[in-house]
Amino acid sequence: MSFEEYAALARQLSAQHRAGEQHAAAESARRRDLHAAVDYLQQRLTAQGQRLDQLGRAIGVDQPPPAPGPGTPGETAAWPGPPSGSGAPTAPSSGPPFAAGAPTMPGTGDGEPAGAPGRAGVGAYPQLPAGEARLALPTAVSPAGGGVPAQRAASADPAVELELARRMADEADRHGQQAELLAQRPALLPTWSPLARAVAVYAGCGAAAGVLVLILVLASGVGLVDGFTLGAWICAGLPAVAFFGGYLVLGRWGRPAMVAGTPPRYLPLGFLICFLVVPMAYCAYLLMVRGLR
């Protein structure tokens, strides 16, 4: 080998060595980036799990039971093969090759079975005892059958899998924000403001009490209710019932699930509405009766 060939070979080896070092450095950097991405994604998933637990407790949903792990009694019972000591018949390990009732195989002409070349009295597929049969490893078979080994699945790219997991985490964050926005709205009139909701509830309860006032007035007209009872219910009883009814309705259906504390119920406004609507309903009834006369 000449000096020029030796120098060219040395340069080639040096270039290959530098390329290997660069490849190793790039692979190491890629692995560091993958580990950092995995740690960040793990932190995001942990935070999402905690937030989902908070949402579940807020709406009164218990956590689902854990899934059964491997080795459970159900999976153990489903394992093929006769259990030990079950009394299942096992194949004999020794004995004549042509037992009574056993199917015979065509011979080769020399008194030996066709599937046992070289040894007399041995079948082509010798049967094993039950204990050894359970220890035999299964062979992977393709879905097409025929005993052909199944093709191995191609290895997935970690970067692609992490990108898919990141997109799913982003989608989970988006749905979680939508769930929080929905949880911050009450079940009763969710698009209304708290003040408008309170006015509507107290006014509705006052209107219901006004209907009861009309019924009491009609009952007083036929002599079922005296004047003192009618006045007590109109001035105090029915307005108080309407006020407490609106208070309870706002506390039960007007409270968002994710809002800490008690939302405002506007008690002075509700008291004013209820104690004005019921007497006004009675006055409207009197005016209507006089107008009809």
pLDDT tens profile 244-278: 999 999 988 988 877 766 778 899 999 999 998 88
Tell me, yes or no, whether 240 lies in a domain: yes
Tell me, yes or no, whether 22 lies in a domain: yes
Rounded to 5°, the CA angle 95-99-104 comes to 120
Domain range for 4 is 1-41
Tell me, yes or no, whether 239 lies in a domain: yes
Other CB atoms closer than 10 Å to residue 277's CB: what's the count? 23
Tell me, yes or no, whether 213 lies in a domain: yes
Flag whether pLDDT at 291 surpasses 70.
Answer: yes
Angle, helices 3-59/158-183, rounded to nearest 10 degrees: 20
Tell me, yes or no, whether 225 lies in a domain: yes
Tell me, yes or no, whether 116 lies in a domain: no
Count of domains in the chain?
2
**Residue pLDDT, tens place only, 92-138:** 444 444 444 444 444 444 444 444 444 444 444 455 455 444 444 44
Tell me, yes or no, whether 253 lies in a domain: yes
Flag whether pLDDT at 73 surpasses 70.
Answer: no
Please report, as a single letter, which amino acid is at residue 262.
Answer: T
Tell me, yes or no, whether 241 lies in a domain: yes
Is the pTM higher than 0.95? The answer reads no
Give the span between the Cα atoms of 257 and 235, in whole angstroms: 36
**Residue pLDDT, tens place only, 224-245:** 888 888 888 988 899 999 999 9
Give Cα separations from 160 to 8, 34, 156, 165 (angstroms): 41, 11, 8, 9
Give the span between the Cα atoms of 135 and 35, in whole angstroms: 39
7 pLDDT band, cuts 50/70/90, is confident
